[in-house]
Structure 1
Amino acid sequence: MLRVAFCSEDSEHIDSHFARGSQIVIFEFDSSSYREVNTINFNSSESIIEDEKVNLRIKAVRDCSILCCSQIGGPAAARLVQQKIFPLKLEEGMLIEDAAQRLNQLFMKNPPRWLQKQM
C-alpha cells in the first residue's frame, strides 16, 4: 500500500502551493486500484509563520510516499525528501482523479526504482 497526497483548494484539482494551500487530499494505492481516504483542511490564518505552515503540512502527510502540488519552495521540498516523501510538481489545474489514474498506471506497469522500495 502506498499513499499519495495532493495539494488542492477545491478537493478536485491540483491547484495550490504546498505551504499555502487550504487542503491536502490523500489517496491510497494498492497493487490494482486506488481510492481517496482523507481530506485535511488547513486554516488560512495569516498569523501563522511560513515555517509553521510547512511543519503542519509535513506532519499531515508523514505517512505518504509522494506529495503532488502545483508549487513548492526548495527548503520545503528538501524537508519532505528528508522524511522520505517525494515532492512532485504537476501542472496547475490538473484534476486529482487524472493524476491518480496516471500514477496508478505507473505503479502497475513500471515504477521507478526509488518507488519500488516503498511499495
Structure 2
Amino acid sequence: MSDQPISRELALRIGLAARHLPDTEPARLLRVLAELVGLPPSEEKLATLRVKEFRSAADGEFNDADTGALKRAVACLRGEEGVEESGLPASEPYAEGDMPVSIRVACASNGGELLDGHFGSCRRFLVYQVSAAEVRLVDVRGVGAAPADADKNDWRAGLIDDCHVLFVASIGGPAAAKVVKREIHPIKRPDGGNARERMEQLRDVIAGSPPPWLAKAMGQDAEARVRFEREAEEA
C-alpha cells in the first residue's frame, strides 16, 4: 500500500462510502480500491468507478451487498453525493440583456467559490457573466454521472455550451478538443485560487484591450478586433 497521503476530500468520500456498505471499515474499502484504481486513489481514478466492477473486485468482496447500497457507495466515491460542504455560493439574479457586451464563463470547482477542479472530475461548474464593469455569478451547475452511452467529455462540455470561456485547474487534450468543438475557449490555471478573483482579473482585461479571441466572444466586429490586436502589440 502506498505511503502517499490521501487528501481530506478523498478520505471523507471513502468514509462516507464505507457507511453504506455492511460491516465495512475504510481499511476494507481501501483494499478493494487498491485493486480497482490503485493507491493512493485520485479524483480522476475514482470518477471511472462502475457498480459492476466494484461488486466483483477483490474476489467479490462486496458480492453480497445490496445493489442500492453499492450505488450509493460508488456515488460517494465519485463525489456525486453525500459530501457535505459549507460556503457553496448562491447565484445572483440575472436576465438576458442585463450586462451588455459581456461574456459567460464557466469555472470548474469542487468546493466553495474556488477554481480547483479538473474538467473530467469536478463536482460543479460556477458560471459567471463578466463585463468590463461587473462580475456576476449567474448559475451553479452540479455535475452528476454521464449517461452510460455518452462520451463523458462531450457530455460535460454540453453542460456549459452557453459559455464562451472555461477556466479549469487542469484538462486533458481529448477533453479540451471537445470543449473547443463547442466554441468554448479553455484556460488552464493549475494554481487555482478564488474563482471570483479570477473573474475580476478577466473583467480588467475586458476593460482594457482584450485579445482578439476574447473580443470576438464579446461580439466585437472585425475592425475593433484588429484595433485591439494592434494596440496590444504597441503596448
Q: State how far apart, in whole Å, the 2-side matches of 1:18 and 1:92 are.
A: 15
Which position in structure 2 is the counterpart of 1:98? 197
Q: State how far apart, in whole Å, the 1-side matches of 2:196 and 2:180 are.
A: 24
Deviations 1:32-87 (A, max 9, x none): 211000011112x5x867x6331222111101111000010101111211211110
Q: State how far apart, in whole Å, the 2-side matches of 1:56 and 1:62 are.
A: 10
Which position in structure 1 is the counterpart of 2:188? 89
Tell me which of 29, 33, 42 is aligned to 2:134.
33
TM-score computed with the length of structure 2 as normaliser: 0.46
Q: State how far apart, in whole Å, the 2-side matches of 1:91 and 1:74 are.
A: 15
| Residue 12 (1) aligns with residue 113 (2) | yes
Q: State how far apart, in whole Å, the 1-side matches of 2:203 and 2:104 are.
A: 11
What stretches of structure 2 of length at least 5 have no aligned partner? 1-101, 219-235
Larger strand proportion of the pair: 1
Which position in structure 2 is the counterpart of 1:3? 104
**How many residue pairs are counted as aligned between the two chains?**
116
**Identity level (%):** 29
Which position in structure 2 is the counterpart of 1:57? 156
| Contact 2:115-2:192 within 8 A present in 1 as well | yes
| Contact 1:7-1:69 within 8 A present in 2 as well | yes
Whichever residue aligns with residue 194 of structure 2, its letter is L
Whichever residue aligns with residue 204 of structure 2, its letter is Q
Q: State how far apart, in whole Å, the 2-side matches of 1:13 and 1:111 are.
A: 24
Task: State the SS of the aligned residue for 2:141.
Answer: strand
Q: State how far apart, in whole Å, the 1-side matches of 2:197 and 2:164 are.
A: 18
- Which structure would you say has the larger RCO, counting Cα contacts within 8 Å and 6 or more residues apart? 1
What stretches of structure 1 of length at least 5 have no aligned partner? none
Whichever residue aligns with residue 7 of structure 1, its letter is A
Task: State the SS of the aligned residue for 1:115.
Answer: helix
Task: State the SS of the aligned residue for 2:203.
Answer: helix
Q: State how far apart, in whole Å, the 1-side matches of 2:200 and 2:174 are.
A: 29
CA RMSD between the two structures? 1.8
Larger helix proportion of the pair: 2
